[in-house]
Structure formats: structure tokens, C-alpha cells
A and B are shown apart, each in its own frame.
Chain A
């Protein structure tokens, strides 16, 4: 059985230096499993995570991650997982503008990150957003506010050595009109992981394909390495398998 965190194709493709990871998915091939894997990896390495959950409640993630061998409740109690349940997040309640809610949210994240810095904890903080499209909904479609918020999260990656994992549904932005958020995210990203259905049609034991585009940025040494990866995946109860097309027995 393949073990996450070491040796699988996704880990190899992602490298270690990516600060901003954007996961793009679509209805036919949801990319949430990549998010779960990255969350697990972030916590397993002794790091902390700040999870902005807009899509699902805590109990959902707790169940999914438990199958994968990662106890979120425990991490949450130990203060290593900062779970922000934003399903009831009212960006822009009548009395205060949307921006204020985002400032509030950002300040909580920043506090969590700073607390990690001050403490003797050596691990990195990973900020996970599931998913950013819903943040746009919360902001009443105001892309600028979402981007401002993201920019501030982004500054944390360079100042506080955090990393950022963002899930976005690509197919929502398929129209040419409001590509803004998606395009901006692609500019932000160091690494884009894209989940798509198999181009050859449905298959029983292959659930889709992942393409990983690793943009060479200037503060990294590994510019010679491969930038684009393309492989298939199969999602299982306790994780996922990654393999090259046709390389499976």
C-alpha cells in the first residue's frame, strides 16, 4: 500500500518549495481529496494548519481525515488545527461592510500564525481554504474584497513563512465574463493542481487525471526540474493512488 507524504507521484510533482498551491477542480472530478491529503501532510509534519471551511462542517472533515489516519479533533484540541467554521460567516452583515468582516477574519488568522511563530513550535503554518468560490458568494460577489483578503494571506507566506492551499471550482468560471478570481489565483499560485475527468471517458478503476504545473519562481533553486506533470488518480477510502497512464498492473 502506498503511503502518503512519501514517494507518491503527487508529492514528487509538488516538490517542497511551493508556497501557494491552487487546486482547481470541476463537478465531474472533485479535487477535495487533494485538499485532504495536503491537510493531512501539513499536520503530520509537525506543522499547524488554519482551515477556513466554507463547504463542509468540521464533522465532515473529521470523518474523512480519520479514515486517512489523521485525528482532526485531537489536533484541534492540541491547538495545532485552527478550524474556522465559516458556513455561517456573514461577510457584509447590514451594519458593517464586507471588508470589515474580512479584516476580522484575517486578524484571527494572523494571530494564529503569530502564536505559532512565538511558541517553540518549529513547524510551518498552512492556511487551507475550502473553497474560495464560496468566499466570493459570502462577499456578495465582490471579487475585489476576496482578492484583498487573499493578498493579505499571501503576504503571510513571505513574511511568516506560511503556505497557502486554496481550492477553487474551475468550471464555475468557464464563461469568459467573470474569470477575474480564477485568473488572479493563477497568478498568485506557485503551483496549480488541476483535477479533471479522464479525457478518454469513464473508467472503473481510474477516477480522473491530475495535472500539476509548477511555476518556477525566482526565490527557488530548483528551476531545472520538471514543471508540468500529468498523471491519473484513483480515490480510495483512506487516500488516493497516483500513477502514470497505463502504468498500472
Chain B
């Protein structure tokens, strides 16, 4: 339900409430897809903002993991023109020079002629050179957001890609502080971030989930039964790189949690969302433990099972009882007991009050298994 998520972020905050927040979670098994989902949400939100349909005037992207160009390229492919990008997107570039090394090197090399500056700030990209300073990061982000054009109260959205990289440079508590400060900032319309859940202890992603109103986790389409490294499950990897499940947990204001579920495909350079069969089945599936067998019955199987008449049910009704006991000869067509297993099918037929009937099919496991004989099965016992 990527649409529902984007709608939530688009509608933004209510007066007197914190801004809605979305946590996109991904793991190594489907990391290109989680990143793709993040790009998708960012692009969708920007186009809403550009069309004037959103509460926010624009989107501030705090980019750690990917070069700003990746975002701009993706948005261009999604049909946003240069004008819209210039108007509605600001990127705080924490990717190019997160620790200021490049500036340091530059300064060392050009000590003599200090006139030459390291020129990296483009029109909507601002390079941030000290990611360890979370307070400064907060100011820079809100400052960028304040720069959008427009009248009245200027709201903006924030995308952080990704929290995992921030956590390398700062503690969990300071990042949580940053996120809550941003959420309660009066101009922030909505905020979303990407977190790579397998890089952290579970409690870290839990802590950040608590701060969010929506959690979208990108899970592998096929659960790896061995979660292992053996080459046999290469096909799982192949599958999981092009397809994943997009599971969304929406937390309502009154505390109710709603589960939504969608399929996520990687097509060419783009990600696509395909709505899943139905929410009901997803809930059912999630209750059954994850195993590689199909434990669920289809609708037809369920009715068939309900219609089966158990052997004792029709006794005494005057109908012919025909149970294969291994001694009596089989019906004419199946005289030879050495026929294939499928030929040795015995049926119990018991029409019950004219309605649809069920049957029990018995298929012998293998030919090695002798039909019951007169032999005493215990005769080798020395009693």
C-alpha cells in the first residue's frame, strides 16, 4: 500500500500533533528493493509537492548512502522536470564528504593560495561536512527546509537515507532525539527514513519504530529456509533481488494498528508496487509459522474435506459397505495386485442424502509394501 503511505505523508501533520513518520526497513537479502522503495516514496512525494497537492512545499533529502545524483536521476526518470526539481527538492549531501576529509586535504594542498575554494555547493545540493555533530545537522536540515518558496506557513518533508549510516557516527539516543525534534518542528510536514535492520541490534530498530507512525518493512519474497550460505539456495537470492514483500504497519491516532501488504517488483531501473491478493490472507499467513511446506488449504480442498464421509458414518444405513481389507479380491479391473500403486486405489463410496459427496482415496506408498497377507507380522518374535 505504497499509495496509502504516500497519501499519509502527503497530507502531513495536523495542527498540534507531531508530523507523521515512516520508517522503511530493509535487510541485506533485499537491499536494492528497500532502497528502491525509499526512492519511490521520495519521488512520489516530490511530484505531489510539485503539483501543489501536498501540505509540504518540498522535500529535504538528507543523503548519506547514495550520491545526490542518484535521487535527482530517479526523479527525472519519474517525469519531474528541472524546474520542479529546483523548486521542490533540497539535498543535504552527507555522502560526499561526511567527515570533512576532502576539505582538510584541499586546505592542506592550497594553503598558499587560499582564494581557491572547494566549490561543491550546487543549486539544490548542500554539502555537509561534519556528520558527528547532530545538533548542527538538525539546524542545517531545518534551515534548508525553510528555504522553499511560497506564502503562508511553509511546510516541508524530510527524507533520511539512511539512519544506519547516521548511527555509525552518533549514538542511538542522539539520533532518536534528532528524529523527535524534527517531528515536533512546526514546519515539518512529514518525515521518513530508511534503516537497514540487520546492521543493528533489534532493540535499535525497535526504538526507532516507536518514534514512527508507519513502518514499512521490505521483506524477502521467499523466506530462505536455511537462511544460509549453501550454494543450493542461489535461486532464492535471484528471486529476492527482483521481488519482495512490502509490509506496512499503520499506527492510527487512537492506537489501532493496521497491517497492509503489497508486492514490490524491480523492473528495469524502476520499482513497482503490485497490490497483493487481499489483506485477509496476509493476516492468515502471518499467523501460520513460516515453513517451506504449504500448510494452508485452498477453498476447494476445504469443501472437499468437509464432504468426506468417514467410514463409520454411514454404517447401518443399508448401503453397501465396501472396504478393502487386503484379502478380498479387488474389483474386476484391478485384479492383479502387482499393478502400479495408482491402480490399487480403493474407494469408499457412500452417497449421503444426495448432496455433493466426498471420497477417501487410498494410494499405497510403494510397490514394496505387500498387501496385507495371512502372514503373522509377529512370527519372527521369539515369545
Contacts and interface: CB of A to CB of B under 8 A. Distances in A.
A216 B231 contact: no
Interface string B89-117: 00000011111011011001000000000
A94 B338 CA distance: 85
Interface residues of A, number: 36
Interface in B226-278: 229-232, 234-235, 237-238, 241-242, 266-269
Contact of B67 (A103, A158, A226): A158
Contact of A147 (B28, B39, B168): B168
Nearest to A151: B98
A216 B238 contact: no
B196 interface: yes
A244 to B, nearest CB: 12
A180 B164 CA distance: 12
A215 interface: yes
A155 B95 contact: yes
A218 B96 contact: no
Given A187-B28, A218-B36, A218-B70, A230 B231 contact: yes
B234 A211 contact: yes
Nearest to A102: B101
B237 A213 contact: yes
A106 interface: yes
Interface in A113-137: none
A209 B232 CA distance: 12
B69 interface: yes
A99 to B, nearest CB: 8
Contacts, number: 86
B167 to A, nearest CB: 11
Contacts of B241: 213, 215-216, 227-228
B69 A158 contact: yes
Given A218-B74, A228-B238, A199 B230 contact: yes
A50 B50 CA distance: 44
Contacts of A184: 199
Contacts of B39: 218
A159 B69 CA distance: 10
B371 to A, nearest CB: 41
B86 to A, nearest CB: 21
Contacts of A147: 168
A113 to B, nearest CB: 12
Given A158-B67, A218-B36, A103 B104 contact: yes
A148 interface: yes
Contacts of A90: none
B237 to A, nearest CB: 5
A155 B96 contact: yes
Given A224-B268, A227-B241, A217 B32 contact: yes
A73 interface: no
A223 B238 contact: no
Contacts of A93: none
Interface in A202-249: 209, 211, 213, 215-221, 223-224, 226-228, 230
B179 interface: no
B268 A103 contact: no
Contact of A152 (B73, B101, B232): B101
Nearest to A174: B229
A183 B69 contact: no
B35 interface: yes
A100 B95 CA distance: 19
Interface in B11-46: 28, 31-32, 35-36, 39
B198 interface: yes
A196 interface: yes
A183 B96 contact: no
Contacts of A221: 268-269
A228 B235 CA distance: 8
B238 A227 contact: yes
Contacts of B28: 183, 186-187
Contact of B101 (A103, A187, A215): A103
Nearest to A209: B231
B231 A223 contact: no
Contacts of A217: 32
A214 B240 CA distance: 12
Nearest to B64: A151
Given A199-B230, A223-B266, A103 B105 contact: yes
6 contacts: A147-B168, A216-B32, A218-B74, A221-B268, A223-B268, A230-B234
Given A183-B28, A215-B32, 12 more contacts: A107-B105, A144-B168, A144-B169, A152-B101, A184-B199, A187-B28, A218-B73, A219-B70, A219-B73, A221-B268, A223-B266, A227-B237
Interface of A: 99, 103, 106-107, 110, 144, 147-148, 151-152, 155, 158-159, 180, 183-184, 186-187, 196, 199, 209, 211, 213, 215-221, 223-224, 226-228, 230
- Name the 7 nearest CB pairs between A and B, nearest first: A158-B67, A107-B105, A228-B238, A228-B234, A223-B268, A227-B241, A103-B101
